[in-house]
Amino acid sequence: MDAIDVIRSKRDGGTLTADQIDWAVDAYTRGAIAEEQMASLAMAILLNGMTRAEVARWTEAMIRSGERMEWSALDRPTTDKHSTGGVGDKITLPLAPVVAACGAAVPQLSGRGLGHTGGTLDKLESIPGWRASLSNAEMLDVLRSTGAVICAAGSGLAPADRKLYALRDVTGTVESIPLIASSIMSKKIAEGTGALVLDVKVGSGAFMKTPETARELAETMVAIGTDHGLRTVALLTAMDRPLGNAVGNAVEVAESVEVLAGGGPSDVVELTLTLAREMLAAAGVSGKDPADALKDGSAMDVWRRMISAQGGDPDAALPSARENHVVVAPSSGVLTRLDAYGVGVAAWRLGAGRARKEDPVSFAAGITCHAKPGDRVTAGQPLLTLHADDESRFARALESLDGAYSIEENGTPELHPLVLDRIS
């Protein structure tokens, strides 16, 4: 085949054949298609879309570019969760131990943060000694001994996606829903999980800003999972305000431990339990309720074993910032808005996130929110505490918070429900 013919076909609004898709993905992975040619094809896909059959085949081709994991050696069914990313989204940390404590195995492959959205691996690496990179054999050992593992995807998993993702990032084609969906689902299907629950965030702090685009992405991913025989459910969840009270790395780990200890912010607990019930139902596991796993300490036991199994010390002190800056309420009234995007960018500028994949992060940097939308505050009361290792970062962080919150004397916040919709 010829790359130009494939590009022209999609450029002119045509439907790519299975052979064209198989060839294009394989040839690009091998280096037989030039970067500029795949960039042109990605732009044509962005502009003209793909049919359900095309997306399913594209996903399959990316899966076939690498290894496919399987967990038949385990004595329990597997289930996993993927979040499209948000501000304060530490749900994976308490969720995996809760689900494991209820009888399922959770092989959770996670990523790092980029821009204003945090990464699960960055959060966990704030725990002294914890390591994200495990071999397949080590993953299996941790799953056998604890029931849950959270780690980085190996280089052999969907290498075509890794290469294409990097290209999309610099060619203005990240927003293509078929390419987003196939990127996420190729890795999750190759991961070998038996069931998958998708947490598709909606709002200012999410990649998908509107319910319509989020629903389109969710439906596309559920269709891919269905077409590949993977039981898949998606929840649309609100990301117009930060999730929980902590935004950053070590501060989010501390909040997750609070949840596992039976406390923590109500929204984090609610979403953790909602997703846990969906994961267990999708895996066909019934019996213990996830709420009981938090109450009786069994989820905390799994967490401690899981962290230890990956080299971490669950009792070690977490990094703390050298500098703190408190933002106080300028007036009394009701906090009607706390914009997730503004808070996320502020945390990023404090050092909690990265602008490029190779950038380091500060584990201690982040933000603590002292009030949530709907809370009544008084003038001078702390609203936010900014944490950083370098006080020079505060000025830029404060710029991103300018206009990110509103206080009205008798205001009523327009809060969306935490779970907006369910797609299966």
Strand residue runs (E) in 203-354:
231-238, 246-248, 323-328, 333-338
User: Is pLDDT above 80 for 13?
Assistant: yes
Mean pLDDT over residues 409-414, rounded? 87
pLDDT of residue 52: 96
- Span 260-279, mean pLDDT? 98
Q: Exactly one of 57, 82, 188, 349 is catalytic; name it.
A: 82
pLDDT tens column, 84-99: 999 999 999 999 999 9
> Domain 3-49 is in which class?
mainly alpha
The answer to whether the beta carbons of residues 157 and 191 sit under 8 Å apart is yes
Which pLDDT score, from 0 to 100, does residue 116 have?
85
Chain-centroid distance of CA 59 in Å reads 19
The CATH fold of domain 80-309: Pyrimidine Nucleoside Phosphorylase; Chain A, domain 2 (3.40.1030)
Q: Is the pLDDT of residue 287 over 90?
A: no
Residue closest to 63 by CA, chosen among 132, 201, 173, 159: 159
For residues 157 and 29, the answer to whether their CB atoms sit within 8 Å is no
Spot the catalytic one: 187, 325, 337, 354: 187
Residues across the chain = 424
β-sheet with 333-338: strand ranges across:
376-377, 333-338, 405-408
The residue type at 408: E
Residue 112 banded pLDDT, cuts 50, 70, 90: confident
398: confidence class by pLDDT, cuts 50, 70, 90 = very high
* Predicted pLDDT of residue 406: 96
Question: Tokens representing 343?
Answer: 């808070």
| pLDDT value at residue 338 | 97
DSSP annotation of 79 reads: -
The rounded distance, in Å, linking the Cα atoms of 62 and 43 is 18
Mean pLDDT, residues 93-106 taken together: 98
* Local confidence band at 414 (pLDDT 50, 70, 90 cut-offs): confident
Q: What is the pLDDT of residue 411?
A: 85
Catalytic choice (90, 123, 163, 168): 168
Active site residue 168: yes
**Looking at residues 134-163, what average pLDDT do you find?**
94
Strand 80-83 to 195-202 pairing: parallel
Active-site annotation holds for 82: yes
pLDDT at 104: 98
**How far apart are the two ends of the chain, measured CA to CA in Å?**
37
Domain spans in the chain, listed from the N-terminal domain onward = 3-49, 80-309, 323-408
Range of weakest confidence among 193-197, 201-205, 306-310, 407-411:
407-411
Q: In the numeric block, which tokens belong to residue 103?
A: 């009888």
Specify the CATH superfamily of domain 323-408.
Pyrimidine nucleoside phosphorylase-like, C-terminal domain (3.90.1170.30)
Backbone angles phi, psi at 328, to 5 degrees: -105, 160
Mean pLDDT of 120-126: 96
Q: Is 288 a catalytic residue?
A: no
CB 180 within 8 A of CB 174: yes
The percent of residues in the chain predicted with pLDDT above 90, rounded, is 91
SS3 state of residue 420? strand
- The predicted-structure confidence for 344-372, as pLDDT tens digits, reads as follows 999 999 999 887 777 889 999 999 999 99
Q: Report the alpha-carbon distance of residue 381 to residue 376 in Å, rounded.
A: 10
Which of 183, 186, 204, 298 does the annotation list as catalytic?
A: 183
Residue 166: predicted pLDDT: 85
Considering the entire predicted model, what is its pTM?
A: 0.95
- pLDDT attached to residue 363: 97
Say what the pLDDT of residue 152 is: 93
Q: What are phi and psi of 98, to 5 degrees?
A: -60, -50
Residue 406 token pair = 């509103």
Q: pLDDT at position 165, please? A: 86
Residue among 161, 227, 267, 339 flagged as catalytic: 161
Active site (annotated) includes residue 183:
yes
Report the sign of the C-alpha dihedral through residues 93, 100, 263, 206, in that order: positive
Percent of the chain predicted with pLDDT > 70: 100
Structure tokens at 296: 């009786």
* Nearest C-alpha neighbor of 333 from the set 289, 293, 381: 381
Cα 71 off chain centre by: 23
* Per-residue pLDDT at 43 exceeds 90: yes
